[in-house]
Amino acid sequence: TSTTVALNSQQASGEKMTSTESEAPVASPTSTALMGPTSPPPEADQFKTEANSAFNLGHYDQAIDLYSKAIDLYDKSAIYYANRSFAYLRTECFGYALSDASRAIALDQSYIKAYYRRASANMALGKFKLALTDFEQVHRRRPGDSDAKAKYTECKKIVQQKAFEKAIAYEEKRVSPCDEISQSLQSMTIEDSYDGPKLSEEGNKVTREFVTQLLDYYKKSKVLHRRYAYQILVDMKALLSAEATLVDVAVPEGTKFTICGDVHGQFFDLLNIFELNGLPSETNPYLFNGDFVDRGSFSVECIFTLFSLKLLYPKSFFLARGNHESEYMNKIYGFEGEVKAKYADKMVQLFREVFNLLPLVHLIDGRILVMHGGLFSSDDVTLEDIRKIDRNMDIPDSGPMSELLWSDPQDLPGRAPSKRGVAVQFGPDVTERFCKNNGLDYIVRSHEVKEKGYEVAHSGRCITVFSAPNYCDTMGNKGAYITLTGGKDLSPKFTSFDCVPHPTVRPMAYSSSLMQLFS
């Protein structure tokens, strides 16, 4: 999800941006980081000083705007680009951060902070080998810098670990974690002290009673028994294995159909959606459009609620994969840590297997295409091409699957490199051609925080819906959901809603220390 959430002191270790700090080049007073071919005009330096102040106050978007004004006046300063790169890192525009850091290095190869910024951006994008190269530069030139040494060492460990994992993957025949755990489910003891919901005695199936009891149990901050949690994951693997990459959804005439966007582990806001719009049922169908987990610290509660509903109503409750249903994102943004804290390391492997099987796209009545991210780097992608995507894998770095889960719309026509560093940004002309070529009325996507919880763009052809209000307890945005009524008129109707109170567990409470490597 794209956002300008500021990482708090427990989540990040970034230094403050001060005028003196940002003007200290590594080389000498004649470095182009300060001067370039000519000195920057006073107006440019004034914008930079104002940007530094905005940065220190956590106003990162304002800082980016001010650094951009400085660059417009004088584009030869490595400092300006490196500082803007830092602000982009804080707003998680990792693609832009990478570009600015590279530009700073091109202007002044001795400017150490630019290497630091580029390494951080590559770390955030999971490009560990490239990050290691830059961290190595920083560590070699600043051997006494304990922070640089720590990040270099940690990054090196990750590269070595990944190389080891890749090596043993060729030697071991992969065993399905779900299949493996299913053989030991019956031997898992249900302790007498357990007072929570139980699957049906006949077949260990999810029932309506189980779901309602589960919601009440979660409201009391209790944890579903591990035997039932594992059973749900095993059953989800079997169910999703039979589903298509592109799921066709028929909405009978006069029937309401609800589309929700990102919920990101905000369980109590998820409950509020059901309060406002009714619990899912065969006559009250829903589609949740990815990013069920991460950031919010009740992701386990969200995912088992949604999975239980999918098992209960497989033909009227739909789940799509988001970019956060992936191994690396879960490792960084909290879901993996939360699963390990509430259950065990083993369960993380089952989630990875199940997430890889989630459908990517839903086609409503042949007229509305719903995906988490957006459209493609090429105009020639068709619905049939999407149907043929082999989705049973972690999300790749590029290609149609990655673009479906990572792309974003833009106001300008054409395409542009993504601010995120993954997939593309696509303009209104791209959306118009895609809809026309595939016989669609419009597309619905999620993936981005919106002030009202939704946004209508591209002349009504591209709609964003985001269902996590006051995202990360900081954004102040509303959440929203879309309702459609089956029939000739499939016009979207939007309902915005505010956040509700939740137990005092901060967002990102389970996030990885790896976040410090790109903060």
Quickly list DSSP for 391-423: --SSPPSSSHHHHHHH-EE-SSSSEEE-TTSSS
pLDDT for position 151:
84
Q: What is the pLDDT of residues 296-306, one digit of tens each?
A: 999 999 999 99
Contacts from 449-453 at CB under 8 Å and sequence distance 24+?
Answer: 449/1, 449/2, 449/3, 449/475, 449/477, 450/477, 450/480, 451/477, 451/478, 452/477, 452/478, 452/480, 452/494, 452/496, 453/261, 453/477, 453/478, 453/479, 453/480, 453/481, 453/494, 453/496, 453/497
pLDDT for position 161:
82
pLDDT for position 11:
35
CATH fold, domain 42-169, is 1.25.40
Q: Exposed, middle or buried: residue 144 (CB in 10 Å: 0-12, 13-18, 19+)? A: exposed
The residues near 303 (Cβ < 8 Å, ≥ 6 apart) are 292, 293, 351
CATH fold, domain 179-517, is Purple Acid Phosphatase; chain A, domain 2 (3.60.21)
Do domains 42-169 and 179-517 share one topology? The answer is no
Both tokens of residue 111? 């400017």
pLDDT for position 77:
96
**Dihedral, CA atoms, 279, 285, 291, 294, nearest 10 degrees?**
20
> What is the C-alpha separation between 506 and 10, in angstroms, rounded?
11
Of 139, 225, 324, 362, the active-site residue reads: 324
Report, as ranges of residue numbers, the positions in the chain whose pLDDT lies below 70. 1-37, 168-173, 516-519
Residue 324 a catalytic site member: yes
pLDDT for position 171:
54
Q: Where are the domains of the chain?
A: 42-169, 179-517
Question: pTM value?
Answer: 0.89
